C-alpha cells in the first residue's frame, strides 16, 4: 500500500538518506516549467512497464503532482 | 493525480511507493530549490524584506509605535510565538490610542502570498490594485517578509 507523506522534510529525508527516486506525474509542459530537483517526468496516463523501466524496483519511489489533486 | 500514480506504480511491482500529497506547490512555497525553465525567475520570497518589525497581540500600541518609528518603518506585522502572521499595523493603526493593545486595533487576517510567486506577476498585481506592500508567508503562515511594490517593480524590471 502506498505511503502518504505530507512534509517537505520527509521527502528530503527519503531522497538524501534512502536514494528515493522522484517522479513528477504532471504533463510534460508543467514539468519542464518547474520541478523538484532530480525528478523525472512520467505523466500519469503514461505510467506502464516501459516508461518506468529506468526506475529501480528496490529503491523507494516518490510520486507527486501539483498540489492536493 | 499522485494517489492514482502511487497505486499504479505499486501495481507495476514497486515495493516502496510514497505519495507526496501536498505536491510541488508545497515544496516551492517554502522557497526550496527547483529545476526547470522557470526555476531561475525571481520570486517574491527573495524580494520581501525579512527585517520588517514584528509585535505580539498583547503589546501596547504606544510602545510598538515608538519601536517601529525608531527603526524607520511605518508597518508592523503582528505575529504569535511561532512567527505566524495574525495581523498588520499600518500607519493608521499605529496612530491609535497608545494604551490600546495591538489586538484591539490591528488589521485582522491580512492577505498573504507564498514566496514562490513570480515577482513580475506580483508587481503587476500590486500596480493594478494600487497596493504598496504585501505580506509574504510560508504555506504554514510563518512570516517571510514584507514586499514593497517598488522592490517588486525594480526586480521585475531587471529581468531579461
pLDDT given for residue B34 in this prediction:
92
Tell me, yes or no, whether A28 lies in a domain.
yes
Tell me, yes or no, whether A23 lies in a domain.
yes
**What are the cell numbers at A68?**
492536493
Please check the confidence at residue B138 and state whether its pLDDT lies above 90: no
For the segment A30-66, what is each residue's pLDDT rounded down to a tens digit? 999 999 999 999 999 999 999 999 999 989 999 999 8
A69: pLDDT confidence band, cut at 50, 70 and 90?
low
Report d(CA B48, CA B44) in Å as an integer: 6
Distance from CA of A18 to the nearest CA of B (A): 11
B23 alpha-carbon distance from chain centroid = 19
Report d(CA B143, CA A59) in Å as an integer: 37
Tell me, yes or no, whether A1 lies in a domain.
no
Residue of A nearest to B33 (CA): A37
Tell me, yes or no, whether A31 lies in a domain.
yes
pLDDT given for residue B82 in this prediction:
95
For the segment B98-110, what is each residue's pLDDT rounded down to a tens digit? 999 999 999 999 9
Task: Indicate which of A32, A65, A66, A68 best probes the interface with B, i.e. most B CBs within 10 Å of its own CB.
Answer: A65
Please check the confidence at residue B33 and state whether its pLDDT lies above 70: yes
A67: pLDDT confidence band, cut at 50, 70 and 90?
confident
Question: Of B31, B34, B21, nearest to A63 (Cα)?
Answer: B21
Tell me, yes or no, whether A27 lies in a domain.
yes
pLDDT given for residue B56 in this prediction:
98
Pairwise CB contact (< 8 Å): A36 & B24? yes
Which residues fall within 8 angstroms of residue B147, CB to CB, at 6 or more apart?
Answer: B44, B47, B48, B49, B113, B122, B133, B134, B135, B136
Report d(CA A7, CA A24) in Å as an integer: 17
Q: Hey, what domains does chain B have and what are their CATH numbers? A: 1-30 (no CATH), 44-157 (3.10.580.10)
Which residues span the domain enclosing A52? 8-64
In the block, which residue shows the cell 524580494?
A: B47
Beta strands in chain A (DSSP E): 3-5, 21-24, 40-41, 61-64
CATH of the domain at A50: 3.40.250.10
Tell me, yes or no, whether A69 lies in a domain.
no
Please check the confidence at residue B96 and state whether its pLDDT lies above 80: yes
Pairwise CB contact (< 8 Å): B1 & A31? no
Determine contact: B11 vs chain A, CB below 8 A: no
Report d(CA B75, CA B88) in Å as an integer: 7
Tell me, yes or no, whether A46 lies in a domain.
yes
Number of domains composing chain A: 1
**What are the cell numbers at B53?**
518589525
Helices (H), chain B: 2-11, 23-29, 44-47, 61-70, 91-94, 102-105, 119-128, 149-157
The single-letter DSSP state of residue A42 is -
pLDDT given for residue B159 in this prediction:
64
The interface pTM score, or ipTM, of the predicted complex is: 0.96
Tell me, yes or no, whether A3 lies in a domain.
no
Amino acid at each position: 500500500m502506498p505511503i502518504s507523506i505530507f512534509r517537505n522534510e520527509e521527502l528530503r529525508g527519503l531522497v538524501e538518506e534512502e536514494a528515493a527516486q522522484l517522479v513528477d506525474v504532471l504533463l510534460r509542459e508543467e514539468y519542464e516549467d518547474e520541478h523538484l530537483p532530480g525528478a523525472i517526468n512520467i505523466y500519469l496516463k503514461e505510467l506502464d512497464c516501459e516508461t518506468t523501466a529506468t526506475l529501480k524496483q528496490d529503491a523507494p519511489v516518490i510520486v507527486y503532482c501539483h498540489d492536493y489533486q | 493525480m499522485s494517489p492514482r500514480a502511487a497505486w499504479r506504480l505499486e501495481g507495476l511491482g514497486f515495493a516502496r511507493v510514497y505519495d507526496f500529497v501536498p505536491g510541488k506547490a508545497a515544496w516551492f512555497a517554502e522557497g526550496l530549490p527547483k529545476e526547470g525553465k522557470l526555476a531561475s525567475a525571481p520570486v517574491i520570497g527573495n524580494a520581501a524584506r525579512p527585517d520588517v518589525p514584528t509585535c505580539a497581540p498583547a503589546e501596547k500600541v504606544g510602545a510598538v509605535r515608538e519601536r517601529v518609528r525608531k527603526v524607520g518603518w511605518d508597518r508592523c506585522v503582528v505575529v504569535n510565538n511561532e512567527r505566524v502572521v495574525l495581523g498588520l499595523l499600518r500607519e493608521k493603526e499605529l496612530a491609535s490610542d497608545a494604551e490600546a493593545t495591538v489586538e484591539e486595533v490591528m488589521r485582522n487576517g491580512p492577505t498573504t502570498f507564498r514566496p514562490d510567486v513570480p515577482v513580475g506577476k506580483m508587481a503587476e498585481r500590486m500596480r493594478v490594485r494600487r497596493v504598496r506592500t504585501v505580506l509574504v508567508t510560508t504555506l504554514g503562515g510563518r512570516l517571510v517578509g514584507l514586499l514593497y511594490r517598488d522592490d517588486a517593480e525594480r526586480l521585475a524590471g531587471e529581468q531579461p
